[in-house]
Amino acid sequence: MIRLTVHFVTDSSLATGTYFRSHNLAVGLTRLGHQVRVFTCDHNTAAASREEVRDGVQYRIVRSSKAQRFFGAPNNPMNAIRRAFQDYPRSDVVHLFQPFLSGLLAWSRQTRNSRAVAWYDWDDLWAAGGLMDRQKQSTTLCYQWNYFWTSLLERGLPGRAARTTTCSTWLANLAERRGTSNPVVIRNGFWPASLVERHVARQALGLDPHALYFGFMGRTLTGDELEWCFEGIRRTSGSDRSLRLTVCGLPLNTLPQFALQPKSQVDALGIIDQEQARLFARAVDIGLVPLEDHLFNWSRFPVRFAHFLAASTPVLTSEIGDLAGFSNISGVLPAGKGRDSWIIAFQRAATQLTTGGLPTVDSRVVGDLFSWGLLATQLQTAYLSNS
At 274, give phi and psi (nearest 5°): -65, -40
Are residues 208 and 266 in contact, defined by beta-carbon separation less than 8 angstroms?
Answer: no
CB 83 within 8 Å of CB 41? yes
Looking at the structure, do residues 44 and 163 belong to the same domain, yes or no? yes
Are 309 and 353 within one domain?
Answer: yes
Percent of the chain predicted with pLDDT > 70 = 97
Strand partners, 244: 213
Residue 319 to residue 196: CA distance in whole angstroms? 30
Of 264, 235, 260, 263, the residue nearest 250 (C-alpha): 260
Beta bridge partners of 121: 97, 165
> So what's the pLDDT on residue 196?
96
Q: Which domain holds residue 76?
A: 5-189+371-385
Let me know whether 244 and 377 are in one domain. Answer: no
Q: 98 in helix, strand or coil? A: coil
Q: What is the pLDDT of residue 222?
A: 64
Does residue 223 share a domain with residue 88?
no
CA distance 384 to 211: 50
Judge contact between 107 and 118, C-beta under 8 A.
yes
Same structural domain for residues 350 and 221? yes
For residues 65 and 92, membership in a common domain is answered with: yes
255 and 149 inside one domain: no
Q: From CA 188, how far away is CA 121, in angstroms rounded?
A: 12
- Cα separation values, 298 from 96, 129, 227, 272, 319, Å: 22, 10, 20, 27, 10
Residue 250 sits in the same domain as residue 339: yes
DSSP string, 116-152: -EEEEEE-S--SSSSHHHHSPP--SHHHHHHHHHHHH
pTM above 0.85, yes or no: yes
pLDDT score, position 38: 98
Tell me how far apart the alpha carbons of residues 157 and 130 are, in angstroms, rounded to a whole number: 16
Query: Could you tell me the CATH number of the domain that includes residue 307?
Result: 3.40.50.2000
Q: What is the pLDDT of residue 4?
A: 96
What pLDDT is stored for residue 362 in this prediction? 94
Of 294, 145, 282, 304, nearest to 221 (Cα)?
294
* 8 A C-beta contact, residue 63 and residue 76: no
The span from the CA of 22 to the CA of 189, in Å, is: 11
| Residues 212 and 359 occupy one common structural domain | yes
Same domain, 31 and 164: yes
Report the domain count for the chain. Answer: 2
- Going residue by residue through the chain (387 aa), what tens digit of pLDDT does each one get? 789 999 999 999 998 889 999 999 999 999 999 999 999 999 998 899 999 999 999 999 999 888 888 898 899 999 999 999 998 999 999 999 999 999 999 999 998 767 899 999 999 999 988 888 876 677 788 889 999 999 999 999 999 999 999 999 999 999 999 999 999 999 999 999 999 999 999 999 999 999 999 999 987 766 789 999 999 999 987 667 789 999 998 888 888 787 777 778 999 999 998 899 999 999 999 999 999 999 999 999 999 999 999 999 999 999 999 999 999 999 999 999 999 999 999 999 999 999 999 999 999 999 999 999 999 999 999 999 976
pLDDT at residue 130, as a whole number: 86
Residues 12 and 156 occupy one common structural domain: yes
Residues 161 and 250 in one domain: no
Contact status, residue 218 vs residue 302, Cβ threshold 8 Å: yes
pLDDT at residue 239, rounded to an integer? 63
217 sits in which H/E element: strand 212-217
Residues in the chain: 387
